[in-house]
Copies of this chain bind each other. A is one copy, B any other.
């Protein structure tokens, strides 16, 4: 009898590799397989013993997998894969297009419920742990205000945007929270902060041969949505410097809530993440929620779920008795 939770990975990019690295740190789990759209023989997993399959093998592998972790992107992959695979497996994903979460939740909920599966959507750190802290803090101190700051960190979306600017050969973008704004929030004054007052954006760009630096700079800092609403600085560096100094996918941020329980008594709740690798940390969150999904499913709790629906003790390898004795 196999008592370990059998986890499988659908999609083998940075996030999928992070899940693969996280499994051995959880002794109640084993990696049952990696499913990829690439030719399976081209993929070299960390552990050579891990079976690799084409994504199209999934429908036949229902009896091999307890929880399937969907490691595709929110733009192209998950809107299609999430609803389809939630009909076949218990799933966990990191769908992170905040504005479309209600629609995605509904699209996953129906097939999961119909097929008695449990599908946890939008796990990770934001959405995910940060969402949890926004909700809990607001519930504990309803007379208060919550602020989310991101960074210092490498933003994938903004890095992609600046690489599309004509004349740019390569580059990355860092989001940095403005310390003065954070201090004002921590003071409990509940400031109203404009976009520009919360974060700055710092770009490190490699120019294409013959490109005009000032034109490239202007095209970046005036780009609507991505950079125009921020104080954006652009540094030009060499391709060697880019490769040497800017490969770590560091990220993190802060959820700060200040509130009052009475006129005389003010409080500040702060949750901070400092992440050496954004995809690896996100993957570790997905893996902990996979444990919870396995348990929710065993309890007959079917359908789409979010971090708001999961009793925190279910994330832990420890038993309820152990948690109460050791951590309460």
Say whether B315 contacts A135, CB under 8 Å: yes
Whether, in the assembled complex, A298 has its beta carbon less than 8 Å from a beta carbon of chain B, the answer is no
- Alpha-carbon distance between A276 and B318 when the two chains are bound, in angstroms: 34
Whether, in the assembled complex, A321 has its beta carbon less than 8 Å from a beta carbon of chain B, the answer is yes
Q: Mark A94-118, 1 if CB is under 8 A from B, else 0.
A: 0000100110010000000000000
Say whether B98 contacts A328, CB under 8 Å: yes
Chain B's nearest CB lies how many Å from the CB of A186?
8
A residues 269-300 in Cβ contact with B at 8 Å: 269-277, 280-281, 283-285, 288, 291
Whether, in the assembled complex, A138 has its beta carbon less than 8 Å from a beta carbon of chain B, the answer is yes
Chain B residues lying within 8 Å of A284, measured Cβ to Cβ, are: 140-141, 261
Say whether A261 contacts B280, CB under 8 Å: yes
Chain B residues lying within 8 Å of A134, measured Cβ to Cβ, are: 327
**Interface residues of A toward B: which range?**
35 or more
Say whether B266 contacts A276, CB under 8 Å: yes
Say whether A131 contacts B327, CB under 8 Å: yes
Say whether B274 contacts A261, CB under 8 Å: no
Chain B residues lying within 8 Å of A272, measured Cβ to Cβ, are: 268-272
Which of the candidate stretches A68-76, A192-200, A305-313 sits at the interface with the other chain?
A305-313
Chain B residues lying within 8 Å of A131, measured Cβ to Cβ, are: 327-328
Q: Mark A118-155, 1 if CB is under 8 A from B, else 0.
A: 00001000010101101110111111000000000000
- Alpha-carbon distance between A127 and B328 when the two chains are bound, in angstroms: 5
Enumerate 27 A-B pairs (CB-CB under 8 Å) in ascending A order.
A22-B261, A25-B142, A102-B324, A122-B328, A134-B327, A135-B323, A138-B327, A139-B288, A261-B281, A262-B277, A264-B277, A265-B276, A267-B274, A267-B275, A267-B277, A270-B272, A270-B273, A270-B274, A306-B320, A306-B323, A308-B313, A308-B320, A308-B323, A308-B328, A309-B313, A309-B320, A310-B311
Given contacts A25-B143, A261-B277, 14 further A-B contacts (CB under 8 A): A25-B261, A98-B328, A102-B321, A127-B328, A142-B317, A261-B281, A261-B284, A267-B277, A308-B323, A308-B324, A309-B311, A309-B313, A310-B312, A311-B311
